[in-house]
């Protein structure tokens, strides 16, 4: 009788152990399946968000020949609804060509900006009318116009100023008050720096003498009227010239 009870208890313990192992095994399988399901769901959500997010690509356009960074562009990835593969390729090719042209233009602009605009290199400080005597003599020798007429024009125009960018109400400028349009046809390089500078006194005095020669030369009245067609202007210049010893 005692033996039967022991066998019965032993069988019961075996059944309970088997049941427990089965439950643990089923729980492990369920847990693993749940984890896999959540991982797959997370991947699906992340993929959907990635498709809805606008993508920007920062590209550094670098000119190797100049070794300078020219531009940093932000390009938005484009998705055109209903666009075929061929249409997309054509569009992307056109956009690439447009970017290439823009980059070439940027390189050209950078090169132009780096160029130094040449101006008169020689700068002389003139503080007294006597400082210009050599320039008047040089202009007279080159053109045949009396130096006293040249000096008188210089005096009436700007008070015998040195190099200056002074402008009049009519946009005449520089020591001899040339209009830019007149300077284009008559401006010369007076100091040998390779540039005819309307604001440089050496260039302006020699150019003024050449312009007086072109307007009338030895006929002073015609020359001055060509320089500035005004009787009042002519009278002022002649008054100054006579004070300098001009015989006319």
Averaged pLDDT in 10-residue chunks for the chain of 248 residues: 51 55 53 70 62 44 44 52 77 84 78 43 49 90 95 91 86 93 94 92 95 93 94 94 90
**pTM above 0.85?**
no
Burial (0-12, 13-18, 19+ Cβ within 10 Å), 151: buried
Same domain (yes/no): 69, 150: no
Of the candidates 115, 145, 163, which is a domain's last residue?
Answer: 115
Question: Can you tell me the distance from the alpha carbon of 221 to that of 215, in angstroms, rounded to the nearest whole number?
Answer: 10
Same domain, 105 and 153: no
| Total domains present in the chain | 2
Q: Dihedral of CA 161/164/124/150: which sign?
A: negative
Is residue 178 domain-resident?
yes
pLDDT given at position 5: 47
The reported pLDDT for the residue numbered 12 is 58
**In a shared domain, residues 169 and 227:** yes
Q: Which structural domain range is residue 75 located in?
A: 53-115
Q: Could you tell me the two tokens for 167?
A: 């402008």
Q: What is the pLDDT of residue 112?
A: 55
User: Which of 65, 85, 115 is a domain's end point?
Assistant: 115
Alpha carbon dihedral 214, 219, 220, 226, in 10-degree steps, equals -40
The string of DSSP letters for 12-72 reads HHHHHHHHHHHHHHHHHHHHHHHHHHHHHHHHHHHHHHHHHS--EEEEEEEETTTTEEEEE
In terms of domains, do 76 and 180 share one? no
How far is the C-alpha of 240 from the C-alpha of 227, rounded, in Å?
16
- Strand-pairing partners, residue 63, are 68
Instruction: Please identify, among 90, 115, 140, the residue that sits at the C-terminal boundary of a domain.
Output: 115
Same domain, yes or no: 133 and 191: yes
Q: Are residues 154 and 233 in the same domain?
A: yes
Query: Which segments of 115-230 does DSSP mark as H helices, in order?
Result: 133-143, 147-158, 180-186, 201-215, 220-227
Residue 226 in any domain: the answer is: yes
Helix (H) or strand (E) holding 75: strand 68-76
Shared domain check, 203 and 134: yes
Per DSSP, the residues of 204-240 read: HHHHHHHHHHHHTTT-HHHHHHHHS--HHHHHHHHHH
Which CATH number is 220's domain given? 1.10.530.10
Shared domain for 172 and 233, answered yes or no, is yes
């Amino acid at each position: 009788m005692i033996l039967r009870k022991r066998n019965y208890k032993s069988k019961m313990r075996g059944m309970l152990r088997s049941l427990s192992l089965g439950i643990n095994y089923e729980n492990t399988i369920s847990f693993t399946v749940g984890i896999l399901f959540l991982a797959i769901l997370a991947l699906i959500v992340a993929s959907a968000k990635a498709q809805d997010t606008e993508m920007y690509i920062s590209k550094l356009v670098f000119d190797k020949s100049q070794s300078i960074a020219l531009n940093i562009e932000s390009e938005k990835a484009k998705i055109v609804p209903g666009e075929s593969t061929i249409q997309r390729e054509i569009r992307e090719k056109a956009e690439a060509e447009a970017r290439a042209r823009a980059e070439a233009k940027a390189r050209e602009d950078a090169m132009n900006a780096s160029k130094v605009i040449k101006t008169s290199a020689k700068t002389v400080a003139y503080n007294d009318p006597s400082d210009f005597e050599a320039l008047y003599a040089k202009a007279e020798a080159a053109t045949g116009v009396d130096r006293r007429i040249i000096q008188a024009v210089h005096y009436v125009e700007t008070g015998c100023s040195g190099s200056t960018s002074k402008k009049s109400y009519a946009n005449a400028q520089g020591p001899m008050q040339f209009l830019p349009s007149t300077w284009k046809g008559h401006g010369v390089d007076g100091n040998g720096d390779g540039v005819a500078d309307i604001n440089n006194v050496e260039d302006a005095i020699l150019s003024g003498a050449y312009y007086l020669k072109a307007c009338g030369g030895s006929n002073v009245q015609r020359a001055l009227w060509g320089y500035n067609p005004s009787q009042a202007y002519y009278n002022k210049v002649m008054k100054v010239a006579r004070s300098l010893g001009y015989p006319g």
